[in-house]
Amino acid sequence: MLKSSTVPSRFLNLPNDFEFAGWGTFLKLQLDHSDYKAGEARVQKTADMKILGQFTASALAGNAVLGSVFYALPAVVGVASIYSPISLFIATLTLFIWRPIMEELASSFPICGAPYSYILNISSKSLALLSAALLFLDFASTSVVSASTATSYLAGEVNLPFPEFVGTVLVLVIFTLISLSGIKESARVALCVLTLHIVTMTILIIAGAVHWATIGNGQIIENWHGGKASSASEVIRQIFNGFCLGMLGLTGFECTPAYIARIKPGRFPLVLRNLHYPAIVLNCLLMTLVLATIPLENILQGNNILSLLAEKAIGPRFRTYIAVNAIIVLCGGVLTGILGACELLEQLTLDRLIPKSFSRGLPLTNAPYISVLSFIAFSGIIYASTGAQSSIVSKMFSLVWLVVMSLFPLALLLLRFNRGRLLRTSNTPFWVVLLALTLIPVVFAGNVVVDPTTAGYFAAYLIAIVSFFSATQNKARILKWLYGVYDQFPLLHRWSLTESWGKMIINLMGTLKCQPVGVLVKTDEINLLFHMILYVRNNEETTCIKIVHFVDEELGIPSELEANARILDEAFPEITLDLIIVTGSFNPMNVAALAHRLSIPPSLMFMSCPGPRFEYNVADLGTRIITL
C-alpha cells in the first residue's frame, strides 16, 4: 500500500494513490543460452551493417548534393545576376567550416539518424524532437523541389498535356507507389546514377568550355554590361543574396551522417571530401559557362538553363540527354526524401516519440505504408499551400537546410559541455564552432530579406510538425490535463453517459505508461542515480524503470546500491523502480542479451557517458547516453 501522505491531491475526485505505481523489487538475474544467442545475433547484425566504402557511401547523398545544380543555379542567378559564380564559390567554401565539425561528431556517435540522434544523446528529448521535425521538413522539401524541378525540365523539352503542377503531383504519386511496393534504395544503383550524372556534367563542362573558346568573350561581356550593378553597395548586396541562396547547391550534405553506422570505419571524412570538391567544381564552372554562352535574358526566363547550355555547346540531342539526366537524378532525390523520412519515422517509433503504427508494414512488401502516405500527404500540403510555386519551396528549402546544418555545431557545443569525456578521434577548434553558429543567422536573415514570405511558410510547417510530435510524445500528460478538465465538473461524474469517462482516461494513461525502460548503472552514488531517474521521468512516458547493474565477480555488488534504489523508489511514488543484478561483464553482447530477456529495445536502455578508456562505442551498445 502507498504510505500515507499529507500532500493534497491535485484532483477533486481522485486520491493520491491514483499515481502510485507500486513498490519495486530486487532480482538477481542469470542470462540463459537463448538470451546470449539473441545478443550475439544483434551484435553480428550491427557489425554486418558496415558495408559502405567511400564511393558507395558518397553516392547515397551524392545524387542530392550534385543534383542540386538543376534548381540551385536558376535560383541564384535570379538574385545575383552576373555575379552568380562568385556567390556560388563563396557558398561552397563554407563547407570547409562544417566538415571538421561533422567529422568530430561522427567519431563520437557513429550511429544512424543524425543530427536527431546526436541531440538525443547529448541533450533533452524535447530538443531532439525539434531536430527531428527539422529533418522531416528537410526531407519533404527535398522531395517537393526535386519533383517540381524534374517536371520543369520535362516541360522545357516537350509540350505537356497538363499543367506543371499536375506533373509534380504525378511524380510524387508514382514514387509513393514505388515506395509502397517495397523497392528500397541501393547504394550500387545510386552509384551508377551518380557516375552517369558526373560523366554527363563533365562532358557538358568540356563542351561548354570549347564552345566558349570558339565564340570568344562577346557573350559574357554583353551579359556583364547588361547585368552589372550600378554601385559598389549594389554589387555587395547581389553577391550576398546569391551567396545566401547558393546554399541550395549544398543540400544533401546533412544526409551523410544519417547513415554513418553503415559506413566502414575511417571512411566518413573521405565521403565528405568526395562530395565537397565536385560540388565546388560543378556549381562554379557550370554557372560561369552559362553566363559565357547564353544571353542573360534567356537565363532569367527559364529554369532548365543547363539544357540551354547543352544545346549551345553540342546541339538539340544533347539538350534532350541533359533533360533526361536531370529527370533521373531529380527523381532519385524524390525517392531519397521518402526513404529518409521513413527511416527517421522508424527511429522515432523505437524512441516512443510517435505511435508504433507508423512502422507497421504492408502484408506483402513490408513497406511502412502509414509513414509513406503521411510523408507524401505532408509534402503535397507544402506544395499546394505555396500555390504550386517551386521557387517559394526552393527558397524555403534553403532556410530549412540552414537550420538543419546549425544543429551540427550546436550538437558539438553541447557535446563539449555535456559529454566531454566521450572518446573522439578529432578535435575541432572552438572558434570554428562559434564561426559556424555565427554564420547561420546571418545567412538565414539574408534569405529572409530576399523573400520574407518564405520565413512564414517555414515557421508554419515547422510549428505543425513540432505540434504533432509534441502531442505524440506527451500523450499521458495530455490525458492528465483532459482528466483535470473532466474533474472540474462534478455533474459529469454522476451522469450515466459520462460517469465512466474518468475511469477510461485513467486506464488509458496506465496502458501508455506501463512500458518499461532500462537504466544501466555502474556505481551506487545516489546523486547519479537520482539524475538518471529524473531524466527518465521528464523525458519518457513510463512508470516502470529497471535499474540494471552488471556485476563483476571480483568487485561484487556496490554496497549501497540496493539501499539507494529503495530510497529512490520511495522518492518517486509515481514510478516503480526494480533493481536487477545481472551476472556478467558490461559488453555489447550482454546488453543485447539483456534487452532480449527484458523485452526492452536497446534504444530504451540508458547509461552514463563512458570515458576515454571504455573499449566500446555507443554504436556497439545501441544504448542512449543521458548523463555526464
Domains and CATH numbers, the chain: 16-30+513-627 (3.40.50), 63-446 (1.20.1740.10), 475-505 (no CATH)
Tell me the torsion sign for CA atoms 459, 460, 463, 465. Answer: negative
CB atoms closer than 10 angstroms to residue 376? 23
Tell me the torsion sign for CA atoms 266, 267, 269, 270. Answer: positive
Q: Say what the pLDDT of residue 449 is.
A: 82
Answer yes or no: are the C-beta atoms of 307 and 69 closer than 8 Å. no
Answer yes or no: are the C-beta atoms of 150 and 327 closer than 8 Å. yes
Give the C-alpha separation, 608 to 627, whole Å: 5
The set of residues, in sequence order, having a beta carbon less than 8 Å from that of 206 and lying 6+ positions away, is none
Instruction: Flag whether pLDDT at 551 surpasses 60.
Output: yes
pLDDT band for 5, please (50, 70, 90 cuts).
low
Instruction: Flag whether pLDDT at 185 surpasses 60.
Output: no
pLDDT tens-digit profile of 68-121?
Answer: 888 788 888 888 888 888 988 998 898 899 999 988 888 888 887 778 888 988
Give the C-alpha separation, 602 to 589, whole Å: 11
Full-model pTM = 0.87
pLDDT band for 225, please (50, 70, 90 cuts).
confident
φ/ψ of residue 360, rounded to 5:
-70, 130
Q: Say what the pLDDT of residue 32 is.
A: 83
- 576-583/624-627 β-pairing: unpaired
Half-sphere exposure of residue 342: CA atoms within 13 angstroms, side-chain side:
26
The SS3 of residue 513 is: coil
Q: Say what the pLDDT of residue 307 is.
A: 84
DSSP state of 548: E
CA 152 vs CA 72, 386, 388: distances in Å = 14, 16, 12
DSSP state of 8: P
Instruction: Flag whether pLDDT at 189 surpasses 70.
Output: yes
Q: Residue 27 pairs with which residues in a beta bridge?
A: 580
> What's the gap between Cα 534 and its chain centre?
27
Q: What are 104's three cell numbers?
A: 568530430
Average of pLDDT values for 602-618?
Answer: 84
Q: What are 565's three cell numbers?
A: 534504489
Average of pLDDT values for 371-388?
Answer: 86
* Amino acid code (one letter) for 371: S
Q: Say what the pLDDT of residue 123 is.
A: 86
Q: What are 325's three cell numbers?
A: 539526366
The SS3 of residue 451 is: coil
pLDDT tens-digit profile of 42-58?
Answer: 888 777 766 777 887 78
Q: Say what the pLDDT of residue 265 is.
A: 81
DSSP state of 358: G
Q: Say what the pLDDT of residue 370 is.
A: 86
Q: Say what the pLDDT of residue 410 is.
A: 92
Is the pLDDT higher at 159 or at 431?
A: 431
Answer yes or no: are the C-beta atoms of 335 and 179 closer than 8 Å. yes
Give the C-alpha separation, 323 to 334, whole Å: 16
pLDDT tens-digit profile of 502-545?
Answer: 788 888 887 878 888 889 988 888 999 999 999 988 888 888 89
Give the C-alpha separation, 331 to 144, whole Å: 10
Q: Indicate the burial class of 297 (C-beta count within 10 angstroms; 0-12, 13-18, 19 or more).
A: exposed
Q: Say what the pLDDT of residue 554 is.
A: 67
The set of residues, in sequence order, having a beta carbon less than 8 Å from that of 378 and lying 6+ positions away, is 136, 140, 465
CA angle 326, 327, 332 (to 5 degrees): 100
Average of pLDDT values for 477-493?
Answer: 81
Q: Say what the pLDDT of residue 530 is.
A: 92
pLDDT band for 435, please (50, 70, 90 cuts).
very high
Q: Say what the pLDDT of residue 379 is.
A: 87
Q: What are 234's three cell numbers?
A: 549594389
CA angle 287, 291, 293 (to 5 degrees): 115
Give the C-alpha separation, 390 to 378, whole Å: 16
Q: Say what the pLDDT of residue 409 is.
A: 92
Give the C-alpha separation, 183 to 144, whole Å: 20
Instruction: Flag whether pLDDT at 345 surpasses 60.
Output: yes
Answer yes or no: are the C-beta atoms of 40 and 589 closer than 8 Å. yes
Give the C-alpha separation, 286 to 201, whole Å: 9
Instruction: Flag whether pLDDT at 186 surpasses 60.
Output: no
The SS3 of residue 36 is: helix
Average of pLDDT values for 226-236?
Answer: 81
User: Mean pLDDT in the chain?
Assistant: 83
Q: Which residues of 379-413 are buried (b: 16+ CB within 10 A; e: fewer)?
A: bbebbeebebebbbbbbbbbbbbbbbbbbbbbbbb
* Amino acid code (one letter) for 587: N
Q: Of 265, 271, 276, which Cα lies nearest the Cα of 425?
A: 265
Question: Over pLDDT 70: what percentage of the chain?
Answer: 96
The set of residues, in sequence order, having a beta carbon less than 8 Å from that of 186 and lying 6+ positions away, is none
Long-range contacts of 451-455 (CB under 8 A, 24+ apart): 451/392, 451/395, 453/392, 454/392, 454/395, 454/396, 454/398, 454/399, 455/399
pLDDT band for 3, please (50, 70, 90 cuts).
low
Answer yes or no: are the C-beta atoms of 280 and 110 closer than 8 Å. no
Q: Say what the pLDDT of residue 262 is.
A: 78
pLDDT tens-digit profile of 25-43?
Answer: 888 888 888 888 888 888 8
Any idea which residue has 512516458 for its cell? 541
Q: What are 601's three cell numbers?
A: 529495445
Q: Residue 361 pairs with which residues in a beta bridge?
A: 368
Q: What are 603's three cell numbers?
A: 534504444
